[in-house]
Structure 1
């Protein structure tokens, strides 16, 4: 619909007016925080929430779409005070402005929520939430400790679940208030008593659902550190499935409800009986196998067993055989040694030295040596002189005196072929007098 002029003024259609007003609202109230009381609350089939937020003097309509509503964690009740973060929009069809809610929390929970997040971050950075430090839950406990209020419905739920699931398990209650100013300290005393008495295999810390203020005693730092240091496994079953407390994060196991905590603390009686039956059957099988192996060993031992008389007869026969062998060996050794002695005596007599002949032979050798020594010495000197002349002729020093040089690589090896060289190689030149270190610029081959 187009705008028309009337007496010089711009005339807007209703849609144009609402559109412009809506733009002004969205531009000037992009995000606001509002506190008020819920009324006329409706949850549509689509999951969207429609309600009115009011105080003593005014009210405003509000809508929270399903994608945002599922993150709230609770469904607001009429008359409940809440705090909203919303943008201000105009519902153009009726010309009514409304709040489009992005986040919601119960009024007065802002400071508590910030404190919860700060403590969670602190303990998380210290590693108290790490899975590596959490203790395993005893699957078949002899006794279970329950820390909660004697008047709490959670206690009845836990006792009912354990009685139904595992009536053979003993339950010890460590009473403590679960709400109020002194609840955190009393809970610490109860958990400390359970640890000190060391009479249970698992500790259940349970409480029914409630608001953040109702559950605040389970967000105590002292209680969290006590649970983290407990040598007894702790299961936290505080609130409903959507409720989270610090004890849930620091406990060895988190249960969504107190009843679930009781179910996680022990196996059902039937499962325990099945385990016992399986163990008995396995033990019977092992026992039967052991008896079978023992019977086989006994049969083999009986087969190997002989009477003492038979063993003595065998030993006597063996002794007689050894005696005969010993006599034969002694006689043979005596005859052998006598023969060797006779042969040695004959050889000794045959080889007895003739001292006079040896002296004559020695005097002849000395005479021949006296005659030959000067001739041999002269011959050796002549040969030595000839070798010295040959060595002098072949000495590389004589070649160096004629202008030649000896080329060696950096390791001291002789270089004989230019093809073995590369550009940049370092060489050592040795002259008749002195030497030089050079670098190859370009190898050349004739």
Structure 2
């Protein structure tokens, strides 16, 4: 933007903020002088006609920032006018009558304002056109204009040029390629449309209208465009069930696109259930001139998010108000979205193309919420069923165990009764046994006393024997007697051994025959023919064989 455009734009904005007419902020001739002189200080601003100390204090910092090319800044720095009185400023101005570019400027010594000279104050065509274009863009920033398309054409870059007219007037329009493609409308002469944008005045081409969005006007045109696109998408198979993706079971991260001010968001959030979702919300217009652009931007942003399912909802409306959801660009973005998409638009009678191509098409925002919670509800129902089964099974087992316990209780009681009776019998027998034991103990006491007397007598006898054993004379006599007795025994044993010695028998001419096993042959039946025998004689052993 040129300096004049920036100053005029600032003038218009400031006037709106203060609820003033623009000329009350700065007159156009004053703006021209600012552009011509390009002041750098507050003192230089004061030399311009139409700017006094009050305006310098109020607007000086903003104007200087614009002149320096920095745009409008809030003016936090302290103005030099706050440091001096008006009289001092007037005196300073009176001392210097030269402007920065050397032009002679006359000042009023009392007010300090520049005295307007009488020369021509005309402006150039470019200055006027620039001012006019700035004022148009500033005061008509978003206008919706309805009319019939005539003279439509597209250049090689895809930009659309046409006129719209009514019975009295014609308006030249331009729509750049990106906005034209986003609209999803193939313009033809004779179409009734609504174009949204702003007027402009180009230096070469004159007055025109720069369109941002296009809408078809009239139910007939909208219905025809709807039917044509529906047929096209159907032929591509985008409505077939094979194209639909299955929703993730138990989704946790939900992407939600709708308007924060509409009823749809309340319908969805109040019906989606309390299952601990993480809902990533993106506010967007869902109706009007900028709905297409907003929804497209929202889809692009949501495609970057980590979500399990995307939900796009809005309330019902006419075919005209639902145009954004019958737009080909939006529809193809839905089909290409990285995760399954649920679209819930309008009421039961509303059927948008976005609903038809979505992985799950719901007739209302409430229906979309139910689609999200469906797997959670099924899971919750299964949990409830399992809970009922567990409780019923537990109750059944509990009743069975109660019967078992009652039966065991009866058995225990019967056995306890039997044990009690048996214990009584045992106790009686025990009592009798105790009596017998007591009698036996008394008997044993008597026996022990008798045994003690016998032991005492035996001990006394043994003690006497020990005393006798220690008597030396008696001991020697006993040993001698014992030795004599042993000698006699040894002699007897010697005679017996000599008489029975086998060598003695062999020396007398006897022999001993044994078989190979070493067994002594005692009779002839102990041998047979061909047996080998060992015959022992007094001086050796003879090996022989039985021949007969």
TM-score normalised according to structure 1 size: 0.37
